[in-house]
Amino acid sequence: MRVIQIHAGIHKTGSTALQHRLARLAPDLAGHGIALPGFGPRGQGHHALSAFQHEPEACARAWARVARSLRATDAPRVLLSSEHFISAEPEALKAALDGLGPHEVRLHFYVRPHVGLFTSLYLQRIKAGVVRTGPVEVAHGYASRPEFDYVPAIERYIDVFGPEAVRVREFDPARFEGGSLMADAWAFLDLPAALRDRALAEGDAVLNPSPSAEQAALLFAVAARLRAAMARRLDPQVLRRSLAALFGELCARLADPATRYRLPLTLQEAIAESAGPARAGFARRLDRPASDAFLHEPLQRPDPIAPVPFEAVAASLSATAAAATRRGWAAVARSIDHLTAELRPADGALLRLDGLAPLQSEGLA
């Protein structure tokens, strides 16, 4: 019987890096009897398979493409990968899989403690330009969303597919098998040992990094300025691509000082109180003993956001504006140039970021 294996994330557990590596090795995996139908050259092709509620027509077309691909192969194993499966309806997924013929299902979830998870989710939304408020307000909207509140979501998968079909592993870099994410994932997904060295050859490149507190403040400020200046004329994809360009420039020029972004301590405490007990009870589902941090996530007060060299910021903003001009986004370029002029400090040396964005309510210099 064919095995259909689903790597279902969750979010912010190295999924993008793993998907890129799987996509690169897809022909070799096929040679070992593992098909990745419709995965695409960057490993993003399976995200549509989870959109049963939000984009049902696109989702149905994606599953039809998978079905056609599988009719053309006798591969004994199929691998699907998308962190968005955590938000899918398990019953809808089961119905879609039942349309692929006789099979055995295996579902794999990486999970992590909730304070760190929400911190990463919040920073991801800053990178995408969709955050308009501080983390406390955003946290209220995330409280029951499966990508954050994953314990009941995975329990529903267990109810639908059975406990023997669902494997859950703590995302704990300190205890990765083989000392790396890729080695750990290769073992967790039981992928061919013959391809392991090739999978590990490029190391654990971080393909979707989180910004530092300083970088996040600047990304937030630029997004707010563009929304204010352009209002409805601002295409969300243009905003996202502009911020991605700026983030790349900031990573190149503003590595130091780099303060790790932390949520306000009061919010950390609220998340720990709300999510901690259920997570500790869920530890029995893990495929190896939970770490102390998983059972009792440590909380840390935010550090002060450091002043940054203005010239590094100005150069990053200027490069981003130039890229926008080349793409024909003249209004974006003008708005960024205006913001750069306004940010210039009186002494021309260091730019203080306090109050530039409502990201941390404690620990600001």
Q: Is there a contact between 17 and 90 (Cβ–Cβ < 8 Å)?
A: no
Regarding the domain delimited by 2-200, which CATH topology (the fold level of the hierarchy) does it fall under?
Rossmann fold (3.40.50)
Q: What is the pLDDT of residue 339?
A: 94
CA-only gyration radius of the chain, Å: 22
**pLDDT given at position 364:** 33
Measure the CA–CA gap between 106 and 52, rounded to whole angstroms.
20
**For 154-198, how does the pLDDT look when each residue is reduced to its tens digit (9 = 90+)?**
999 999 999 999 999 999 999 999 999 999 999 999 999 999 999
Q: Strand, coil or helix: what is 10?
A: coil
Select the more confidently predicted residue: 92 or 257: 92
Inform me whether the pLDDT recorded for 10 exceeds 80. Answer: yes
Q: What integer pLDDT is reported at residue 257 of this predicted model?
A: 63
The size of the chain, in residues, is 365
Q: What is residue 356's predicted lDDT score, i.e. its pLDDT?
A: 72
Q: CB neighbours of 60 closer than 8 A, spacing ≥ 6?
A: none
In this prediction, residues 41-62 reach a mean pLDDT of 96
What pLDDT, on the 0 to 100 scale, is given for residue 208?
A: 83
- With tokens 């003249």, the residue in question is 330
Residues 223-272 pLDDT 10s: 999 999 998 889 999 999 999 999 999 999 987 768 999 999 999 999 99
Count the neighbouring beta carbons within 10 Å of the beta carbon of residue 275.
22
Q: Are 58 and 51 in contact (CB under 8 A)?
A: yes
Please say if the pLDDT value at position 350 is more than 80: yes
Does residue 334 register a pLDDT over 60?
A: yes
Name residue, tokens 């503003």. Answer: 254
* Whole-Å CA distances, 121 to 126, 147, 313, 342, 357: 9, 9, 24, 30, 17
Half-sphere exposure of 35 (CA within 13 A, CB side): 18
Quick check: 324 and 336 in contact, CB under 8 A? yes
CB of 43 closer than 8 Å to CB of 65? no
In this predicted structure, the answer to whether residue 20 has a pLDDT above a threshold of 60 is: yes
CB 110 within 8 A of CB 169: yes
Query: Coil, strand, or helix at residue 46?
Result: coil
Phi-psi region of 33 (alpha: psi -120 to 50; beta: other; left: phi over 0): left
* 3-state secondary structure at position 104: strand
Q: Kindly provide the b/e burial profile for residues 122-158, where b requires at least 16 CB atoms within 10 angstroms of the residue's own CB.
A: bbbebbebebeebbeebbeebeeebbbbbbebbbebb
Verdict on whether the full-model pTM lies above 0.85: yes
Cα 226 from chain centroid (whole Å) = 24
CA 190, CA 312: separation in Å to the nearest integer? 45
**12 and 18 in contact (C-beta within 8 Å)?**
no
Distances (CA, A) of 246 to 271, 310, 349, 352: 31, 15, 20, 18
pLDDT tens for residues 94-143?
999 999 999 999 999 999 999 999 999 999 999 999 999 999 999 999 99
How many other C-beta atoms lie within 10 A of the C-beta of residue 307?
A: 16
The pLDDT, as a whole number, for residue 113 is 99
* Domain ranges for the chain: 2-200, 213-261+302-351
Residue 170 β-bridge partners: 111
Q: Which DSSP string corresponds to 136-156?
A: HHHHHHHTT-TTTSHHHHHHH
Flag the least confident range among 45-59, 111-125, 239-253, 336-350: 336-350
Q: pLDDT tens, 311-327?
A: 999 999 999 999 999 99
Tens of pLDDT along 262-304?
A: 999 999 999 999 999 999 999 999 999 999 999 999 999 999 8
